[in-house]
Amino acid sequence: MVGTGYVGLVVGACLAETGNNVCCADIDTKKIESLRNNVLPIYEPGLEPLVERNQKEGRLSFTTSLEEAIASAEVLFIAVGTPPEENGAADLKYVLQVAALVGRHMTREMVVVTKSTVPVGSAAKVAAEVAKEAKFPFHICSNPEFLKEGDAVGDFMRPDRIVLGVESAHARRVMMDIYAPFVRTGKPILVMDISSAEMTKYAANGMLATRISFMNEIANLCDELGANVDFVRKGIGSDSRIGQSFLFPGPGFGGSCFPKDVRALLRMGAECGVPLDVLAAVESANERQKRLLVQKLRCALGEELAGRRIGLWGLAFKAGTDDMREAPSLTLIDALLDEGVSICAHDPAAVEHARALLGNRIDYAETNYEALAGADALVVVTDWNEYRHPDFERVKRTLRQPVIVDGRNLYDVEKMRELGVRYYSIGRPSA
Ligand SMILES: NC(=O)c1ccc[n+]([C@@H]2O[C@H](COP(=O)([O-])OP(=O)(O)OC[C@H]3O[C@@H](n4cnc5c(N)ncnc54)[C@H](O)[C@@H]3O)[C@@H](O)[C@H]2O)c1
């Protein structure tokens, strides 16, 4: 497994858990050193015991030597980052660097798997790179990953489906063997051509991002027209053609996948002259949504925000992770700091990452209540469980005035009214 980030580490640990010998390699020496000591560089529920147990039992090892990992492997997963380039395209630099090393250091026939999210046509580039120095036959497989941060172990152990893009019987057989333990309940392994597998990953993320932006816009319209998005959501979600998932409005999507994958998909469309108007709108609607909470704060506190202090609950782009990549909290914080607002934030997992990005531009609180001391309003950005049912009397006592702007619709409007809280959420009546 080359690349031990959110994906590589989870996949490596889960594959070791089913009995495979997995060697995880990364160029980040600090990361590898701490993993050897069972100290995880990321927050991901349920991952630590897997890493510790499998390392102790000798099925999972960590190295900074890519050469060593490649030389010992029959199957090599490439799970390095594919960050966006300036023009939105996924940057294949790291993937192709690894591919070049695979050709150089392989010691036997191999299956080379792209686990990273890569644009259609990337597998061919990986194959060409490996082929330059390969002394043994090799087989390419595109095996996109659908896990979600915050429940990554559960998703990998009990996937809805596995997608395999292959072009040889050998790759198909080897990969079906590896994944057999994960589909004992009958979930499908979908075998297809490589281009379709690569496209499937982008189409999945494009669809999920579309649902989010669509619901955000419907919620904004509810706000204007006096409808309640909670009812609307249930009203449409109970249609079996629509379903209940991904219908919650919020402060815009973020994270390491949706924003970058939508942009990469748009770039793919632009490069081959296929308009992707829906996705272009998904992106611009999301950029607008990320600024919605500033407007809500103006409704709550008045046009002039300079000199105000805000208690902010949640920095991570969503609950269950410490990932801050493209988090809506960052857009909100930048906008508020520009206005002259001071901020004290709490997050159960992401403070360390936030500090690295924001330094002392904001204050950080040890507990969620501490973040409210002297604040003019509480703004909820991430839907962590511990924010769902707080001690509201304490919230009221600690804030300078009882104002809550809720970017996740966590609280009951009627209850807020009874408590005497001035409450603003998304697509629902204010209290
Ligand atoms: N994070 C997710 O939820 C998720 C889900 C599905 C797919 N993906 C995709 O998986 C890929 C990895 O994502 P991630 O979130 O795990 O990224 P990440 O940034 O957390 O991890 C990438 C790792 O690769 C390492 N790396 C970079 N270049 C390397 C090289 N040349 N050799 C060895 N290691 C190298 C980095 O040090 C880092 O540890 C991306 O393409 C992403 O789009 C991510």
Site to probe by mutation for ligand 1, drawn from 26, 112, 155, 318 as the one with most ligand atoms within 8 Å of Cβ, is 26
Residue 260 pLDDT: 96
Site to probe by mutation for ligand 1, drawn from 6, 91, 156, 318 as the one with most ligand atoms within 8 Å of Cβ, is 6
Here the tokens at position 138 are 């090799």
- Ligand 1 atom with minimal separation from the 261 CA: 43
Site to probe by mutation for ligand 1, drawn from 7, 43, 64, 261 as the one with most ligand atoms within 8 Å of Cβ, is 7
Q: Which range has the worst mean pLDDT, 3-7, 307-311, 427-431?
A: 427-431
Ligand 1, atom 4: nearest CA belongs to which residue? Answer: 7
Task: Kindly give the distance from the C-alpha atom of residue 419 to the centroid of ligand 1, in angstroms, as a whole number.
Answer: 46
Ligand 1, atom 31: nearest CA belongs to which residue? Answer: 94
Ligand 1, atom 43: nearest CA belongs to which residue? Answer: 117
Residue 431 pLDDT: 86
Task: Kindly give the distance from the C-alpha atom of residue 345 to the centroid of ligand 1, in angstroms, as a whole number.
Answer: 27
Distances (CA, A) of 232 to 124, 224, 228, 408: 45, 14, 7, 16
Task: Kindly give the distance from the C-alpha atom of residue 79 to the centroid of ligand 1, in angstroms, as a whole number.
Answer: 5
Ligand 1, atom 33: nearest CA belongs to which residue? Answer: 26
Residue 311 pLDDT: 98
Count of C-beta atoms within a 10 Å radius of residue 258:
23
Mean pLDDT of the chain: 97
Distances (CA, A) of 222 to 128, 129, 166, 204: 52, 52, 46, 27
Ligand 1, atom 44: nearest CA belongs to which residue? Answer: 7
Residue 166 pLDDT: 98
Task: Kindly give the distance from the C-alpha atom of residue 332 to the centroid of ligand 1, in angstroms, as a whole number.
Answer: 26
Stretch 382-391: mean pLDDT = 98
Task: Kindly give the distance from the C-alpha atom of residue 7 to the centroid of ligand 1, in angstroms, as a whole number.
Answer: 6
Q: Ligand 1: which residues within 6 Å by Cβ?
A: 2-8, 25-28, 31, 66, 79-82, 94, 97-98, 116-117, 145, 147, 149, 256-257
- Ligand 1 atom with minimal separation from the 117 CA: 41
Ligand 1, atom 25: nearest CA belongs to which residue? Answer: 3
Burial class (CB in 10 A: 0-12, 13-18, 19+), 97: middle
- Ligand 1 atom with minimal separation from the 90 CA: 41
pLDDT tens per residue across span 71-110? 999 999 999 999 999 999 999 999 999 999 999 999 999 9
pLDDT tens per residue across span 311-355? 999 999 999 999 999 999 999 999 999 999 999 999 999 999 999
- C-alpha–C-alpha distance, residues 106 and 119, integer Å: 25
Ligand 1, atom 27: nearest CA belongs to which residue? Answer: 80
Task: Kindly give the distance from the C-alpha atom of residue 2 to the centroid of ligand 1, in angstroms, as a whole number.
Answer: 9
pLDDT tens per residue across span 152-200? 999 999 999 999 999 999 999 999 999 999 999 999 999 999 999 999 9
pLDDT tens per residue across span 254-303? 999 999 999 999 999 999 999 999 999 999 999 999 999 999 999 999 99
In percent, the amount of the chain with pLDDT more than 90 equals 100
In one-letter notation, the amino acid at residue 273 is G
pTM: 0.96
- C-alpha–C-alpha distance, residues 254 and 316, integer Å: 9
Task: Kindly give the distance from the C-alpha atom of residue 78 to the centroid of ligand 1, in angstroms, as a whole number.
Answer: 9
DSSP letter for each residue of 369-385: TGGGTT-SEEEE-S--G
Q: Which residues are catalytic?
A: 257
- C-alpha–C-alpha distance, residues 59 and 106, integer Å: 21
